[in-house]
Amino acid sequence: MSIAENIAQVRERIAKAAHRASRNPDEIILMGVSKTLPVERIVEAYAAGLRVFGENRVQEFAGKVSALGDLPDAEWHLIGHLQTNKTAKAVELFDAVDSVDSVRMAEKLNASGESTGKILPVLIEINVGGETAKSGVAAGSSELEQILQGAARWDHLKIKGLMTVPPYTEDAEGSRPYFRQLCQIRDGIAARKLSRIGMEILSMGMSHDFEVAIEEGATCVRVGTAIFGERAKA
């Protein structure tokens, strides 16, 4: 199947999952995970109507961004772990950073935003599974609380919600408790009505489990393989 056909199929699956959860599918953002892909395939997805793209690495995206300048209404999100020495470049290249997992990173992103006059939308990445091999701040940790308290002083960041990558299971149902947990964390933060923090975005769910994520409240699903097919490991 072509990329356009794949996108149409994924959107249909999104709509069906939303219907099962009595939700409006128009409220769910489809992000195409374009890491490691050549520019031509990204342009093909854009031509098929995809507008939000996720990249994992600052350096990789820097190498192809100039060839993507003809896609003026595309949104580029950094969804991979960000090294603090690359925050300035990330602010320059991306429309949003969806993987904030420390106070230090947030402070550096804010400083880079201040120097460029940019207000950067960000998500806090939560490590719901407590996996040591994965980035993300632990739920209920002092680091998360410091990020939430720090938001009031970061004038060039706009915290818009949460992101997670749950422990992988072959059965998509295995992800459900982790998605439910992230939704509960979001609700708890939203109820506090903290300064400069919005909780409208829940970015969770990938190719193998995005339908379960939608049923549990995802507002953004990050889909790579189901759109672009299998790819070489980065």
Q: Where are the domains of the chain?
A: 3-228
Share of the chain above pLDDT 70, in %: 99
Residue 233 banded pLDDT, cuts 50, 70, 90: low
Q: What is the pLDDT of residue 70?
A: 87
Amino acid at 200: E
Q: Map residue 143 onto helix, strand or coil.
A: helix
CATH top class, domain 3-228: alpha beta
pLDDT above 90 covers what percent of the chain? 95
In degrees and rounded to multiples of 5, residue 109 shows phi and psi of -65, -40
Q: What is the mean pLDDT of residues 165-188?
A: 96
pLDDT tens readout for residues 90-121: 999 999 999 999 999 999 999 999 999 999 99
Mean pLDDT of the chain: 96
The string of pLDDT tens digits covering residues 113-163 is 999 999 999 999 999 999 988 999 999 999 999 999 999 999 999 999 999
CA-nearest of 57, 13, 19 to 36 is 57
What pLDDT is attached to residue 234? 45
Residue 205 confidence (pLDDT):
98
In three-state secondary structure terms, 194 is coil
* Runs of H (alpha helix) within 48-175: 58-62, 87-93, 103-116, 142-150
Provide the whole-model pTM. 0.96
Q: Which residue shows structure tokens 């923090």?
A: 197
| Range 171-200 average pLDDT | 97
List alpha helices for 64-161, DSSP H: 87-93, 103-116, 142-150
pLDDT digits (tens, 9 = 90+) for 37-75: 999 999 999 999 999 999 999 999 999 999 998 898 999
- What does the chain come to in residues? 234
